[in-house]
Amino acid sequence: MTEINQMNCKCSNKDNCSSHNNEQFKIKSSLNSFNPFTSRVIDLGKGQFIGGGHFQAIAGPCSIEGNHIFELAATLKACGVSILRGGAFKPRTCPDSFQGLGKEGLELLVQAGHDNDMLTISEIMSERDIDLYHDIDILQVGARNCQNYSLLKELGKTNKPVLLKRGMATTIDELISCARYITQAGNDRVILCERGIRTFEPKTRNTFDVSSIAALHNGCDFPIVADPSHATGLSNLVAPCTLAAVACGADGIQVEVHEDPQSAMSDKDQALTPNEFKNLMHDVESMHAFLTQ
């Protein structure tokens, strides 16, 4: 039986940390093979942690499209989500595509997070935009900028946690090296994210490399989040791949949810409806409780 004494937890804020006081997430497991909780604990602020047994679900729309974010945030909060995602500056393949609401989108996200007592996360595409993200809690680096070392170095000078997504052709070892660009600049609150790699398989948008979760846990102590939405690109594969990620030891998940996926301005094929997501959250919590019972 795997049992990590909570006294050894690297979390700096045991008293106010809900995970610490939540029997569901206590760090032990009745499984022999399941012991991924070796990553550092990262304090995300507002009493939330990730890593070392602290699990987080990140959810929200691909793009913030307007006021829809307020009702959606409330719905997600009710599902148990503590971190609200939403894209404001979007890295679209085609320059003619919707590029996001920009600064206005960030303001909507901040307000929605504030209204629902949620942390916020949004992708940053340029070091020149850092000031715009002043009120965003977690900075996300997208797959296309995974090896944008100039950006990584600048984010290493901020005091915000950074979620770094694996590039489409970035190896596991290269991803760890990318994270080190951030930590060497002074910021050790880095979270890695497996979001699928490019392969020959045309059925799925990318190929979800679930093994990277375990390999990364072996090779570094950063928490690992899985993003089955981008990895598969198909809403009906999101739930089974999410469960796979949790069973493989992911420290968190990131899932795209939209109140009406077919009308979404981006990534409509991969977004879950709020009801689908609610069902999935129930399962994720059950799975996590099983793994850590």
Region from 4-12, 19-27, 62-70, 148-156 binding its own copies, contact rule CB under 8 A:
148-156
Q: What is the dihedral sign for C-alpha 182, 81, 47, 212? A: negative
Q: In degrees to the nearest 10, what's the CA dihedral of 60, 140, 242, 41?
A: -120
Residue among 103 and 128 whose Cβ is closer to its own copies: 128
39 interacts with its own copies by CB under 8 A: no
24 interacts with its own copies by CB under 8 A: no
Whole-angstrom CA distances from 115 to 108, 109, 118, 189, 292 are: 11, 10, 8, 25, 32
Among 139, 241, 265, 271, binds its own copies (CB under 8 A): 241
Contacting its own copies within 73-132 (CB under 8 A)? 91-95, 125-129
Among 11, 101, 210, 253, binds its own copies (CB under 8 A): 210
198 interacts with its own copies by CB under 8 A: yes
Taking a C-beta distance cutoff of 8 angstroms, is the pair 251, 50 a contact?
yes
Contacting its own copies within 45-84 (CB under 8 A)? none
CA distance 253 to 85: 11
222 interacts with its own copies by CB under 8 A: no
CA distance 29 to 11: 19
Q: Are strands 224-226 and 119-123 parallel, antiparallel or unpaired?
A: unpaired
38 interacts with its own copies by CB under 8 A: no
168 interacts with its own copies by CB under 8 A: yes
